[in-house]
Amino acid sequence: MPAGESLRTQIGTLIIATSIIQLANGFFSTLVSLRVAIENFNASGLVLSAYFAGFTLGALRSGAIIERIGHIRAYAAFAGLVAAATAVMPLLVGSQSWVILRALIGFGCAGVFVTTESWLSAKAPPSERGRVFSIYMVGTFLALALGQLLIARADIEAVSPFNMIVALFAVALVMVTTARVEPPQVNTAAALPYGALAQAAPIALVGCALSGLVSGAFYALVPAWMQDQGVERPTIALFMLVAVLGGFVFQIPVGRFSDRFDRRIVLALLGLGFAVTAFLMVFSPHELSELLPEAGLLGGFMATMYPVCAAHALDHMPADGVVAVSGRLILVSGLGSVLGPLIGESLMTHFRIDGVFYFMGAAALLLTLVASLAGWMTPSPKQQEMPFEILTPQAGPLAHDQVEYSDAPSRGG
């Protein structure tokens, strides 16, 4: 097989396999939200936030694992961990066991995405890297969106949905481990001193934390809110699908806007738009004609907050610090995603089920206030050094920014 054709096959296999995983992941997140509400766990907030805690740890630590054992073995280990933990969930139904299992699943999913995206970043020719990642992002968003549709026909109280998720991860695992591939070499990136990013771009850190709070609460709690409001399950599935697609549709126009104007003002507008829509959700009729436009707006505003923050941070940092900055932003956003379901679930008990929307709207308004004050008090950078990048709606950042790679054969294979 010619070298160019072989490379295209490798890249295509990775993209298809990870899209299958995102299909399972999109279904899984909504399934757990609805199932936790039915089970009425005494620590439901911990169960819902455990995935984000595991994902954050995985995004930060999986690079070292890849460096030690190689891409193929790492992919197999991470995907196998997710499949095993998923298979155990219906056998050990309880808040404590599900906290541990969901954290393991989050860790494994982060590892799969870090492995895939770093592999693509290294193997795609520089002239085609943008096109490769745009195809990868389209596949990711579409798979996440389609995964929501599986909720409409799933018996969420049965074992079969978990078996379906295990099967999808197994298919992706077989595709990658049986493909004729040549993994890249891993080189560890330079570290970033603590405090450097906070001093250079404090709004980026605050924005990432608030973005994590909002997205973590949204994906973990909104399906349960809709179920409690008596919304039918097919409508919930369609709502979540439109929210994911809204995030995809907003990426390009918001990105272009943020590349032309002060990103802090763009952040303020995104926060304001999300807050207004969140408050409308509480008071508007729960009819399909009302819910779907609101879903698209919520998903669009929410999914573009993090990439605007990331671009703003990179505007203020040296070019050789991209990898370290991205890692620090992942940590901050991940911590916010962990706290989001915990705070939102607590507010839901005090302000009834609508508390989650009050919480998300308040967090978005805080982002608007902080970004507006910063934009008014200090001038914008004269040049936008780092263009906006399209990022996935779950877990925010592109994981391939965590480690740097060369095109030499891997030690681990």
Query: Rounded distance, CA 158 to CA 156, Å?
Result: 6
The residue type at 84: A
- pTM, to two decimals: 0.79
Mean pLDDT of the chain: 80
Query: Rounded distance, CA 293 to CA 297, Å?
Result: 6
Residue holding tokens 């779950």? 394
At 21-39, the pLDDT tens digits run: 989 988 898 888 888 888 8
Two structure tokens written together for 327: 């890692």
pLDDT surpasses 80 at 217 = yes
pLDDT surpasses 70 at 353 = no
Q: 241-245, 266-270, 279-283, 317-321: which has the minimum mean pLDDT?
A: 317-321
Same domain for 88 and 179:
yes
Residue holding tokens 């066991």? 97
* Residue 355 structural domain: 196-377
Amino acid 399: pLDDT = 40
Same domain for 354 and 210:
yes
Amino acid 168: pLDDT = 92
Amino acid 352: pLDDT = 67
Same domain for 94 and 65:
yes
Same domain for 83 and 232:
no
At 70-91, the pLDDT tens digits run: 888 888 899 999 999 999 999 9
315 touches 381 (CB < 8 A): yes
The residue type at 177: T
Same domain for 219 and 78:
no
203 touches 374 (CB < 8 A): yes
Confidence at 405, pLDDT banded by 50, 70, 90: very low
Most confident of 117-131, 176-190, 250-264, 291-305: 291-305
Same domain for 241 and 218:
yes
At 93-142, the pLDDT tens digits run: 888 899 999 999 999 998 888 888 777 777 666 666 667 777 777 888 88
Same domain for 201 and 178:
no
Query: Rounded distance, CA 331 to CA 335, Å?
Result: 6
Q: 5-9, 196-200, 226-230: which has the minimum mean pLDDT?
A: 5-9
Same domain for 207 and 92:
no
Same domain for 298 and 333:
yes
Same domain for 209 and 171:
no
Same domain for 348 and 239:
yes
Amino acid 395: pLDDT = 45
Q: What is the DSSP letter of 183?
A: P
166 or 178: which leads in pLDDT: 166
- Residue 304, C-beta contacts closer than 8 angstroms, at least 6 positions apart: 247, 250, 251, 254, 255, 270
Two structure tokens written together for 26: 């999109």
CA distances from 69 to 80, 104, 109 (A): 15, 19, 17
Total number of domains in the chain:
2
Name the phi and psi angles at 404, rounded to 5. Answer: -105, 155
pLDDT surpasses 90 at 181 = no
Cα torsion angle, 174, 176, 179, 182, sign: negative
- Residue 48, C-beta contacts closer than 8 angstroms, at least 6 positions apart: 32, 33, 36, 102, 220, 221, 341, 345
CA 136 to chain centre: 14
The answer to whether residue 403 is domain-embedded is no
The answer to whether residue 408 is domain-embedded is no
Amino acid 411: pLDDT = 31
Amino acid 367: pLDDT = 93
Most confident of 35-44, 207-216, 372-381: 207-216
pLDDT surpasses 50 at 404 = no
The answer to whether residue 9 is domain-embedded is yes
Q: What is the CATH number of the domain that holds 234?
A: 1.20.1250.20
Name the phi and psi angles at 34, rounded to 5. Answer: -70, -40
The answer to whether residue 387 is domain-embedded is no
Tally of residues, the chain = 413
Residue in 88, 351, 101, 72 with CA at minimum distance from that of residue 228: 351
* Single residue among 129, 155, 187 that ends a domain in this structure: 187
Same domain for 23 and 162:
yes
Amino acid 193: pLDDT = 64
* Single residue among 187, 214, 236 that ends a domain in this structure: 187
Torsion of CA 55, 61, 63, 64, to 10 degrees: -160
Two structure tokens written together for 280: 């409308």
At 222-275, the pLDDT tens digits run: 888 888 778 888 888 899 889 989 988 888 888 888 888 888 899 999 999 999
